[in-house]
Structure 1
Amino acid sequence: MSYGFHAAAMIIVTLTVVLAILLFRKSNSRLSILIGLISWVALSAYFMIEAIVIRATTEPYSFLNQPMSDLGVTACGTDTYVLASYMICSPHHWLMNWTFFLTGLFILIGAVLLYPLWPKVRSIKTASIFIGIFGVSYGISGIVPADIDFYWHTLTALPGMVVQIPAMILISIATHKKMPRIFWWTIICTIVTTAALLSLFLQPVFTGVPGGLLQRILYASVYIWLTGTAIGLWSRRIREAK
Structure 2
Amino acid sequence: MDLPRTARIGALCWIVATPLFLAANVVVGLRWSGPAFSWAEHNISDLGNVTCGIWNSSRPRYVCSPWHDAMNATVLLTALLLAAGTLLTWRVAGSGRRVRAVQSLLLLAAIGYALAGVFPADVDENLHVLGALLIMGFGNLGLLLAALAPGSTPLGRLRARTLALALTALAGTTLFFAQQGLGLGVGGMERVAVFPLLLWTCAVGITLLRPAHHASRSTAETDARQ
Whole-Å separation in 1 of the counterparts to 2:50 and 2:153: 47
What CA deviation, in whole Å up to 9, does each residue of 1:74-113 have, x standing for no partner? 122334x666743221111011001111112111111111
Whole-Å separation in 1 of the counterparts to 2:165 and 2:9: 23
Contact map agreement 1:53 1:95 (CA 8 A) in 2: yes
Counterpart residue number, 1:62: 38
Where do residues 182-221 of structure 1 align in structure 2 (5 Å cutoff)? Answer: 182-203=158-179, 210-221=185-196
Counterpart residue number, 1:21: none
Which amino acid in the other structure matches residue 193 of structure 1?
A: A
Counterpart residue number, 1:9: none
2:4 is equivalent to residue 30 of structure 1: yes
Whole-Å separation in 2 of the counterparts to 1:203 and 1:147: 19
Aligned residues: 212
* Local SS of the residue matching 1:87: strand
Q: TM-score of the superposition, structure 2-length normalised?
A: 0.84
Whole-Å separation in 1 of the counterparts to 2:4 and 2:117: 30
Structure scoring higher RCO (CA < 8 A, sep ≥ 6) equals 2
Which amino acid in the other structure matches residue 231 of structure 1?
A: I
Contact map agreement 1:192 1:218 (CA 8 A) in 2: yes
Whole-Å separation in 1 of the counterparts to 2:179 and 2:59: 17
2:75 is equivalent to residue 87 of structure 1: no
CA RMSD of aligned residues (A): 2.3
Q: TM-score of the superposition, structure 1-length normalised?
A: 0.79
Whole-Å separation in 2 of the counterparts to 1:150 and 1:202: 18
2:98 is equivalent to residue 123 of structure 1: yes
Structure 1 residue runs without a partner (length 5+)? 1-28
Whole-Å separation in 1 of the counterparts to 2:189 and 2:7: 33
Runs of 4 or more, structure 1, over 6 Å off, are none
Structure 2 residue runs without a partner (length 5+)? 220-226
Counterpart residue number, 2:27: 52
Post-superposition offset of 1:134: 0.5
Contact map agreement 1:175 1:182 (CA 8 A) in 2: no
Contact map agreement 2:40 2:184 (CA 8 A) in 1: no
What CA deviation, in whole Å up to 9, does each residue of 1:172-229 have, x standing for no partner? 222334555312221121121112112224336x786611011111111111111011
Q: 1:207 to 1:129 in 2, by over 3 A?
A: same
Identity of matched residues, %: 23
Out of 202, 207, 213, the residue aligned to residue 232 of structure 1 is 207
Whole-Å separation in 2 of the counterparts to 1:150 and 1:201: 15
Range with greater deviation from structure 2 (43-52 or 62-71): 43-52
Q: 1:149 to 1:31 in 2, by over 3 A?
A: same
Which amino acid in the other structure matches residue 16 of structure 2?
A: A
